[in-house]
């Protein structure tokens, strides 16, 4: 009996150890609304030169582009995955040493408490002519003005807060796109398996494309013609400024204010200049 109890205790302890390693090795979810800690303990300041264009490629680090007191680029994290930055002819180019699967697993076990972040700060009155970002993880822009953007993430979310873009595209493969308190002009949003969430956003022309995620719009202002195309997710818009709307779906439901129709077409004020078109295949379209 004592031997059985002893072996049982050993198994429980081993299980707790394995669970602890798994928890520590797992990267915690990125919260765009949480304060960004900028301790100098593990920070490398890469450059303080001014720039008007950004071109960033990151293999494993989260990338944050935000308003600050001055131009700067800093990196927090494992130096084996070093981020390099240089400014030439007004263009800030950021690259990161690629991370192999074996190195990533080893890094997570031995340095589980570290997070990799590349933080770019831009002065308040600075307007960027172009931002190009290709990352594998999270990408956040806060209080940024840019004439053109081209943002892509393979495995992470893209978050945009308090920003204005004149044209461009934001694309995720398996992450969500979340935009708040911002203005987008002629901007394409596309997500393969994630959601698109917009709150207090002004949309001038442009479009959103989804495959299996949901489109959620709250307090939107539609200027010109805007379209949302979905395959199997739902399209939902609430408390928004829209003059006209057209809803189509093959096997879902259409709900336009107090009108309801299963499948087919539902429309209202289609000749109005500020107009939104919700297109779906098997999901629902809802405007409240």
Span 32-63, pLDDT tens digits: 555 455 544 467 999 999 999 999 999 999 99
- Domain ranges in the chain are 46-143, 148-288
**Phi/psi of residue 7, nearest 5 degrees:** -65, -35
Kindly tell me if the per-residue pLDDT of 269 is higher than 70.
yes
Q: Which CATH fold would you assign to the domain 46-143?
A: Pectate Lyase C-like (2.160.20)
Pick left, alpha or beta for residue 257 (phi over 0 → left; psi -120 to 50 → alpha; otherwise beta): left
Tell me the C-alpha to C-alpha distance, in Å, between residue 135 and each of 64, 95, 275.
Answer: 11, 10, 33
- Give the C-alpha separation, 238 to 220, whole Å: 8
Q: What distance in Å separates the CA atoms of residue 144 and residue 37, rounded to the nearest whole number?
A: 19
CB atoms inside a 10 Å sphere around CB 111:
15
Task: Give the DSSP per-residue string, 218-252.
Answer: ES-EEESEEEEE-SSS-EEEES-B-SEEEEEEEEE
CA distance 108 to 115: 10
- Tokens read off for 2: 């004592």
Q: Label residue 114 exposed, middle or buried (CB < 10 Å: 0-12, 13-18, 19+).
A: middle
pLDDT in tens, 83-133: 999 999 999 999 998 765 554 444 444 444 458 999 999 999 898 999 999
- Strand-pair category, 139-142 with 158-161: parallel
d(CA 139, CA 263): 37
pLDDT for 165: 98
Mean pLDDT across the stretch 150-157? 98
Contact 214/252 with Cβ under 8 angstroms? no
Q: What is the mean pLDDT of the chain?
A: 87
Tokens of 23: 């928890």
214 against 3, higher pLDDT:
214
Q: Is the pLDDT of residue 244 over 60?
A: yes
Tokens linked to 232: 């199997």
pLDDT of residue 169: 99
pLDDT of residue 113: 40
pLDDT of residue 110: 42
Residue 221 predicted with pLDDT over 50: yes
């Amino acid at each position: 009996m004592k031997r059985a109890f002893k072996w049982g205790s050993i198994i429980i302890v081993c299980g707790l150890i394995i669970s602890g390693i798994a928890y520590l090795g797992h990267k915690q979810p990125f919260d765009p609304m949480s304060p960004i800690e900028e301790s100098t303990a593990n920070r490398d300041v890469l450059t303080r030169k001014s720039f008007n264009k950004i071109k960033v490629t990151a293999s494993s680090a989260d990338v944050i582009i935000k308003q600050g007191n001055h131009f700067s680029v800093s990196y927090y994290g494992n130096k084996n995955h070093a981020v390099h930055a240089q400014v030439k002819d007004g263009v800030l180019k950021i690259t990161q040493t690629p991370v192999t699967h074996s190195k990533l697993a080893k890094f997570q076990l031995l340095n589980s408490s570290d997070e990799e972040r590349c933080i770019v700060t831009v002065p308040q009155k600075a307007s960027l002519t172009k931002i190009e970002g290709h990352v594998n993880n999270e990408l956040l822009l806060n209080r940024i003005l840019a004439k053109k953007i081209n943002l892509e993430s393979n495995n992470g979310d893209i978050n945009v807060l308090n920003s204005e873009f004149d044209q461009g595209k934001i694309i995720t493969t398996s992450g969500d796109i979340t935009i708040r308190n911002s203005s987008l002009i002629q901007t394409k949003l596309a997500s393969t398996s994630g959601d698109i969430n917009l709150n207090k956003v002004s949309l001038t022309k442009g479009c959103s494309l989804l495959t299996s995620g949901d489109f959620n719009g709250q307090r939107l202002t539609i200027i010109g013609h805007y379209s949302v195309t979905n395959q199997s997710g739902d399209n939902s818009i609430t408390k928004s400024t829209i003059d006209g709307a057209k809803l189509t779906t093959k096997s879902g439901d259409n709900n336009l204010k107090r009108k309801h129709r299963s499948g087919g077409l539902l429309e209202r004020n289609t000749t109005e200049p500020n107009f939104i078109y919700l297109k779906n295949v098997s999901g629902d379209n809802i405007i409240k």
